[in-house]
A and B are shown apart, each in its own frame.
Chain A
């Protein structure tokens, strides 16, 4: 049995092909998905998605969303997804530093919510690069 992975963002289809295995970061921790997984619905956290194609591992940064697994079909709906190989390391690092600085400066409930989100996104992108390399 093969597993089909479909990663959708509002703009485009990021990934739609067969995979051997994936590791998905959900709200309740990472889960590995192999063929013939039980049908589940899960919230996807801001975090990395690891995809195994034969013996090769790929990484993708996911910006939070939702996943549905069943019938050997995985549908991941996320706000934004970037392949680890497509992210510019320097740019990601810079964004992370800016996000960290912003969080330190943040005042009030609202700014903290915003800064935290930005920081988590930035961190995920950096992580996605570091895993591949």
Chain B
């Protein structure tokens, strides 16, 4: 800009150069000051303003880049911890599956009725929607909420009533604001509190779900969450939580088994200086335990005690998966943001340098023109 406008200023307002040339050995310093002293200063400010604006933008982008970079690293570190949480829960879930399996084998023939496995005609469905507590993680929250909306619409079309148990701040604020038809009642808002999910949080949800189901307020409970597939991919899934199947398997809404017989374990590794994810398949080991197990209580009571545990561990697992997906989504979102910031910084620096060079060129032109004018005078 200054390149094109400066020659015009030179011809129309010669005094303008004063502001520019002060720092040099000024050939004009003996000339009387024609314009008010702040006049040239203001116009030079006009030029600098563009430069300063650019510099400010570059600085602010630098800051943003630092923030996004840090957020990315934090998310990466947290994914690692989320992974540890999954590993810590493994002895429990493995033993549980194994016990449930062996007990089921022993009880195969008895026609037992356990409240949590009772299949009733479905009139009302509870949806447990697991979202994140924070934003800045790409389409993670939007994805799961969209899925919830679709499911609600589906159920309403089938003439079923539904109620929502919302987990996570983002989902909570969404369902609080939601005014779209069909109107759904929200049974409970649960907040994760931004920490790693523990059995306590899972317990709160499990208690709620349990009492809803046992008191026959709902006849089916579905869990909507984001399954962690890899760092760049996660999948929103609907899983039927209640009624539990006696075999200890979990089914999706179409009755297909979604229970992983091969337990998957994801691991974060560094490959050639870059973070990458490895997903191992861990075959569940079936340890033969004493086959002649005596039941202290009625088998129904024992199953009664086991089923809530299973319910709880399912919910906990969903929470953990969801958190891992959220962190992975944030990581990639922040990585993209950092890339964009770098790109933008580069473009702006180029513009800034060009501008600065143009200004310098303009100044030199003025000096030369001024010197020429002086030498022609005598």
Query: What per-residue 1/0 map shows which CB atoms of A17-60 lie under 8 Å from chain B?
Result: 00000000011100100000011111110000000000000000
In the complex, which of the residues A12, A75, A80 contacts B203, with contact meaning CB atoms closer than 8 Å?
A: A80
Known: A26-B297, A38-B294, A43-B302. A79 touches B88 (CB 8 A): no
Q: Does B113 contact A (CB under 8 A)?
A: no
With a CB–CB cut-off of 8 A, which chain A residues contact B88?
11-13
Report yes or no: A65 in contact with B305, Cβ–Cβ below 8 A: yes
With a CB–CB cut-off of 8 A, which chain A residues contact B30?
none
Report yes or no: A27 in contact with B309, Cβ–Cβ below 8 A: no
Bound state CA distance, A107 and B208, in angstroms? Answer: 15
Stretch at the interface among A91-99, A108-116, A122-130: A108-116
Report yes or no: B89 in contact with A10, Cβ–Cβ below 8 A: yes
Report yes or no: A68 in contact with B99, Cβ–Cβ below 8 A: yes
Q: Does B211 contact A (CB under 8 A)?
A: yes
Bound state CA distance, A42 and B306, in angstroms? Answer: 10
With a CB–CB cut-off of 8 A, which chain A residues contact B304?
43
In the complex, which of the residues A40, A63, A77, A108 contacts B96, with contact meaning CB atoms closer than 8 Å?
A: A77
Bound state CA distance, A62 and B3, in angstroms? Answer: 79
Known: A39-B294, A40-B293. A79 touches B309 (CB 8 A): yes
With a CB–CB cut-off of 8 A, which chain A residues contact B24?
none
In the complex, which of the residues A13, A70, A108 contacts B289, with contact meaning CB atoms closer than 8 Å?
A: A70
Bound state CA distance, A66 and B207, in angstroms? Answer: 17
Contact residues, B91-112 vs A (CB, 8 A): 91-93, 95-96, 99, 103
Q: Does B202 contact A (CB under 8 A)?
A: yes
Known: A9-B199, A75-B95, A77-B92. A65 touches B301 (CB 8 A): no
Report yes or no: B305 in contact with A113, Cβ–Cβ below 8 A: no
Bound state CA distance, A75 and B212, in angstroms? Answer: 30
With a CB–CB cut-off of 8 A, which chain A residues contact B199?
9-11, 79-80
What residue of chain A has the Cβ atom nearest to residue B307's Cβ? A66
- Chain B interface category by residue count: 35 or more
Q: Does A103 contact B (CB under 8 A)?
A: no
Q: Does A117 contact B (CB under 8 A)?
A: yes
Contact residues, B188-233 vs A (CB, 8 A): 198-200, 202-203, 207-208, 210-212, 214-215, 217
Report yes or no: A66 in contact with B305, Cβ–Cβ below 8 A: yes
Report yes or no: B92 in contact with A40, Cβ–Cβ below 8 A: no
Bound state CA distance, A115 and B202, in angstroms? Answer: 17
A69 to chain B, nearest CB (A): 9
In the complex, which of the residues B212, B290, B297, B312 contacts A10, with contact meaning CB atoms closer than 8 Å?
A: B312
Report yes or no: B297 in contact with A113, Cβ–Cβ below 8 A: no
Q: Does A85 contact B (CB under 8 A)?
A: no
With a CB–CB cut-off of 8 A, which chain A residues contact B289?
68, 70-71
Q: Does B362 contact A (CB under 8 A)?
A: no
Report yes or no: B202 in contact with A10, Cβ–Cβ below 8 A: yes
Q: Does A84 contact B (CB under 8 A)?
A: no
Report yes or no: B312 in contact with A109, Cβ–Cβ below 8 A: no
Report yes or no: B292 in contact with A77, Cβ–Cβ below 8 A: no
With a CB–CB cut-off of 8 A, which chain B residues contact A13?
88, 91
Bound state CA distance, A27 and B308, in angstroms? Answer: 15
With a CB–CB cut-off of 8 A, which chain A residues contact B208?
114
Q: Does A87 contact B (CB under 8 A)?
A: no
Bound state CA distance, A8 and B96, in angstroms? Answer: 10
Query: What per-residue 1/0 map shows which CB atoms of B293-318 lie under 8 Å from chain A?
Result: 11111000110111011001100100
Report yes or no: A77 in contact with B296, Cβ–Cβ below 8 A: no
In the complex, which of the residues A12, A43, A75 contacts B297, with contact meaning CB atoms closer than 8 Å?
A: A43
Report yes or no: B296 in contact with A41, Cβ–Cβ below 8 A: yes
With a CB–CB cut-off of 8 A, which chain A residues contact B296?
26-28, 31, 40-43
B110 to chain A, nearest CB (A): 14
Q: Could you list which residues of chain A lie within 8 angstroms of chain B, going by C-beta atoms?
A: 8-13, 26-28, 31, 38-44, 63-66, 68, 70-71, 75, 77-80, 108-110, 113-114, 117
A-B contact pairs, 12 of them (CB 8 A): A10-B312, A11-B89, A11-B198, A11-B199, A13-B91, A39-B293, A43-B296, A65-B305, A66-B309, A68-B289, A71-B289, A78-B309
